[in-house]
Amino acid sequence: GDSVTQTEGQVTVSESKSLIINCTYSATSIAYPNLFWYVRYPGEGLQLLLKVITAGQKGSSRGFEATYNKETTSFHLQKASVQESDSAVYYCALSPLNYGGSGNKLIFGTGTLLSVKP
């Protein structure tokens, strides 16, 4: 079946340093799933950070970027300079969207807790 893997359960980075959170996916139900990063800030609900629906494209939001790489089946999240306010849990997800359909479930990784040290 379809799956998402985030290898790091926790990452600690000093403020103003660069960040990369790894995400790889396996999609057996569809060749090119839609890919997402969701974020949960402390005390808040899960919210969409960015999404990319076309292989080869890059999505960006709040200084974060992720590129849909179909060759390596990866969707790593990067930021050039993190801030303390970026401390949160980041979830990579895929949706095996059937074009024109609705109601496709999301398949999530287990999340990466980012702690930014001042």
Partner 1 sequence: NSKVIQTPRYLVKGQGQKAKMRCIPEKGHPVVFWYQQNKNNEFKFLINFQNQEVLQQIDMTEKRFSAECPSNSPCSLEIQSSEAGDSALYLCASSLGRGQDTQYFGPGTRLLVL
Name the site residues for partner 1 (rule: CB under 8 A): 34, 36, 38, 44-48, 51, 89, 95, 97, 99-108, 110-111
Nearer Cβ to partner 1 (15/89): 89
- Cβ 49 to partner 1, closest distance in Å? 11
Cβ at position 80, least distance to partner 1 in Å:
25
- Give the chain as a 3 state SS string: CCEEECCCCEEEEECCCCEEECCEEECCCCCCCEEEEEEECCCCCEEEEEEECCCCCEEEECCEEEECECCCCECCEEECCCCHHHCEEEEEEEECCCCCCCCCCCEECCCEEEEEEC
Residue with smaller CB distance to partner 1, 101 or 118: 101
The distance of closest approach from Cβ of residue 100 to partner 1 in the complex, given in angstroms and rounded to an integer, is 5
Nearer to partner 1, 28 or 99 (CB): 99
